[in-house]
């Protein structure tokens, strides 16, 4: 029986270990703890920082209030935030614990999820240490932004076991999870690892999408960075200010693509009879002209002391928006939740 899909009567809890407690780690901690279907999650957290318990007590509540389920259908409801439990109560109930060593953290785990530094050497080392310590049935997930599973598993014995689980920030709010297996895992005729991973996250209301090739940056980042590259190019060229480019996205592409993605949208734009083919016929020459005129930028230093375009643009954005604090991020997350309440329902 798998650790996830067994009947509720067969077990009372599902043991999840989180390694790394930055913003991504805490976001996932709240998600795991909010699980309602199936066995309750018992969360073990491991991070070498000395003030780990105090840090969790101080920072986790905000994440819990954002995701805690309530009887309301709205993920943005005040009721949901009011019902979120106290971290101390979760600890007293055995729902969350802090491990003092990696061995203690992974012992008895059903799921091990790592979101440590974006460093190849770190990830290869941590998984090489985890593999012999973890139960043979435990699922291995890495929440990396760009280091493929095939690279992370270089020192592991089982080259099919680890799966990249790439969230879109902030993951406690955004439903997307890119599931990126290595070629070795993808070549298996049937992978219970993949099935269990997808099933688990669907049970938490996420939208897992399987990426069938370890492309650089996965998919969501590539799409996002392609748009950001052109935005940065236009801003540094002086065509439009960063603030006005933000407004353009917020008042056009953002709302449209929140409801339906680019393929659906442009398919609709081509008309009822011809769809996307008609769209290409109508404005294909304009599309190609824009592609041909796309700006070229590089973040690589040329070795001189002169300010780069990125430095200048960063200073300009800082002057416009200033320092963004916890209240700014909280307001963003609440607004995102309201948008998702509407758009998720419109796609059903």
Q: Which two tokens stand for residue 319?
A: 């002057």
Closest to 183 in 3D by CA, of 207, 209, 151: 151
Strand 111-114 vs strand 96-98: parallel, antiparallel, or unpaired? Answer: unpaired
Mean pLDDT in consecutive groups of 10 residues from the start of the chain, 348 residues: 50 92 93 88 95 93 80 50 80 94 97 96 98 97 95 96 94 94 92 94 94 96 97 96 98 95 96 95 97 93 77 96 92 90 75
**What's the confidence (pLDDT) of residue 20?**
95
- Domain spans, the chain: 8-210, 220-259+298-346
Q: What is the pLDDT of residues 23-62, one digit of tens each?
A: 999 999 999 999 887 889 999 999 999 999 999 999 999 8
Are 169 and 63 spatial neighbours (Cβ–Cβ below 8 Å)? no
In angstroms, rounded to a whole number, what is the distance separating the alpha carbons of residues 160 and 249?
Answer: 40
Please say whether the beta carbons of 229 and 297 come within 8 A.
Answer: yes
* Fold adopted by 8-210: Rossmann fold (3.40.50)
String of b and e for 238-252 (b: at least 16 CB within 10 Å)?
eeeebeebbeeeeee
Residue 178 main-chain phi, psi, to 5 deg: -85, 120
The 8-class DSSP code of residue 251 comes to I
User: Max alpha carbon distance in the chain (Å)?
Assistant: 66
Which of these, 31, 84, 75, lies nearest to 336 by C-alpha position?
A: 75
**pTM metric for this prediction:** 0.88
Closest CA to 122 of 91, 155, 97: 155
- Contact of 179 with 165, CB cutoff 8 Å: yes
Closest CA to 105 of 20, 195, 190: 20
User: What is d(CA 81, CA 85) in angstroms, rounded to the nearest whole number?
Assistant: 9
Q: Which pLDDT score is estimated for 142?
A: 98
Q: Rounded to the nearest 10 degrees, how much is the dihedral formed by the CA atoms of 233, 237, 238, 239?
A: -60
Is 120 in contact with 93 (CB distance < 8 Å)?
Answer: no
C-alpha span between 112 and 19 (Å, rounded):
8
Q: Is there a contact between 279 and 266 (Cβ–Cβ < 8 Å)?
A: yes
What does the CA dihedral 181, 184, 188, 190 come to, rounded to 10 degrees?
A: -20
Q: What's the pLDDT at 85?
A: 84
Residues 6+ apart with CB under 8 A from 285: none
Strands lying side by side in the sheet with 96-98: 96-98, 40-46, 13-19, 111-114, 139-142, 162-167, 176-181, 207-210
pLDDT at residue 10, as a whole number: 56
H, E, C per residue of 253-306: HHHHHHHCCHHHHHHHHCCCCCHHHHHHHHHHHHHHHHHHCCCCCCCCCCCCCC
How many angstroms separate the CA atoms of 181 and 195, rounded?
A: 12
């Amino acid at each position: 029986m798998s650790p996830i899909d067994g009947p509720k009567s067969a077990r009372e809890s599902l043991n999840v270990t989180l390694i790394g407690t930055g913003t991504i780690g805490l976001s996932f901690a709240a998600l795991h703890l909010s699980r309602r279907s199936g066995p309750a999650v018992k969360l073990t957290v491991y991070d070498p920082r000395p003030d780990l318990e105090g840090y969790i007590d101080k920072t986790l509540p905000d994440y819990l209030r954002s995701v805690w389920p309530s009887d309301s259908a709205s993920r943005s409801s005040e009721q949901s935030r009011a019902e979120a439990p106290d971290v101390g109560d979760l600890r007293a109930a055995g729902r969350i614990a802090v491990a003092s060593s990696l061995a203690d953290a992974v012992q008895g785990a059903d799921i091990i999820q790592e979101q440590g530094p974006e460093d190849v050497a770190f990830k290869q080392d941590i998984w090489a240490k985890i593999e012999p310590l973890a139960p043979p049935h435990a699922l291995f997930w890495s929440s990396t932004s760009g280091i493929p599973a095939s690279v992370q598993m270089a020192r592991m014995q089982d080259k099919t076991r680890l799966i990249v689980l790439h969230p879109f920030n902030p993951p406690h709010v955004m439903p997307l999870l890119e599931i990126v297996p290595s070629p070795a895992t993808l070549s298996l005729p049937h992978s219970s690892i993949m099935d269990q991973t997808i099933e688990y996250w669907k049970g938490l209301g996420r939208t897992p999408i399987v990426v069938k090739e370890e492309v650089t940056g996965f998919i969501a980042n590539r799409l996002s960075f392609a748009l950001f590259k052109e935005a940065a190019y236009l801003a540094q060229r002086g065509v439009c200010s960063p603030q006005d480019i933000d407004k353009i996205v917020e008042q056009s592409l953002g709302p449209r693509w929140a409801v339906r993605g680019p393929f659906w949208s442009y398919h609709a734009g081509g008309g009822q009879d011809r769809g996307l083919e008609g769209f290409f016929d109508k404005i294909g020459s304009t599309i190609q002209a824009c592609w041909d005129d796309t700006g070229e930028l590089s973040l690589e230093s040329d070795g001189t002391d002169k300010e780069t375009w990125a430095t200048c643009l960063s200073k300009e954005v800082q002057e416009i928006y200033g320092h963004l604090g916890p209240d700014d991020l909280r307001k963003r997350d609440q607004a995102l939740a309201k948008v998702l309440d509407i758009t998720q329902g419109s796609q059903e």
